[in-house]
Structure 1
Amino acid sequence: MSYPAQPPSAEAPYGVAPNGQPYSEKSKIVAGLLQLFLGGLGIGRFYTGYTGMAIAQLLTCGGLGVWSLIDAIIFFVSETRTDKQGRLLRS
């Protein structure tokens, strides 16, 4: 049984997930698309705030494409993907 997300508040302007974590202003669909098409440059990781990992992807061309493709798939299917502040990415 799933419970509806709580409405937005000042502490969580994009709402709160059923598990109590606030939602991020970032979208996992946007992050996944950026990672899929520009993953060799680490753009999906820059978008979510993980600059260290983004620079590593940039320097390795997204792990020769493999790392960025796997990362994009994980962005699309994972329900627990977070931004740098630990907030859940919105669907």
Structure 2
Amino acid sequence: MTAPPYPQYPQGISDKSKVVAGILQILLGGFGVGRFYMGDTKTGVIQLVVTLVTCGIGSIWGLIDGILILVNGGVDGQGRPLRD
């Protein structure tokens, strides 16, 4: 019998908060900060590159992504749902 990886949380739920991820994504989403926090580095790097290439216009993606994270939740880099 093995212990769950995070004893304070039920197995299968991330230790990352969807509120923190959503707020970070809304405020600094153009730089992909919310995605980096969630462990989704691939999407974070893509958001950063899109924002730089479009001279900041691509940061709208981060704003919308942050709102969607707050409303629908999301998953961390390991595929576990974010906690409330």
What TM bracket, shorter-length normalisation?
Answer: 0.7 to 0.9
In the alignment, what sits opposite 1:23? Answer: 13
Higher RCO (CA-CA < 8 Å; seq separation 6+) = 2
Hey, what does 2:81 align to over in structure 1? 88
Q: How many residues align?
A: 77
**Which consecutive unaligned segments of at least 5 residues does structure 1 have?**
1-9, 17-21
Q: What RMSD over aligned residues (CA atoms) do the two structures have, in Å? A: 1.9
- Name stretches of at least 5 consecutive residues in structure 2 with no aligned partner: none
* Runs of 4+ deviating beyond 3 Å: none
Q: Which has the higher strand share?
A: 1
- Kindly indicate whether residue 49 of structure 2 is the aligned counterpart of residue 59 of structure 1: yes
What one-letter code is carried by the residue in structure 2 that aligns with 1:71? D
TM-score by length of structure 2 reads 0.80
Task: Identify the structure with the greater helix proportion.
Answer: 2
Aligned sequence identity (%): 49
TM-score when normalising by structure 1: 0.75
| CA drift at 1:78 | 0.7
- The answer to whether the aligner puts 1:41 opposite 2:31 as a matched pair is yes
Please report how far the alpha carbon of residue 86 of structure 1 lies from its aligned counterpart in structure 2 after TM superposition: 1.2
Shift of 1:75: 0.7
Deviation, 1:63, is 5.8
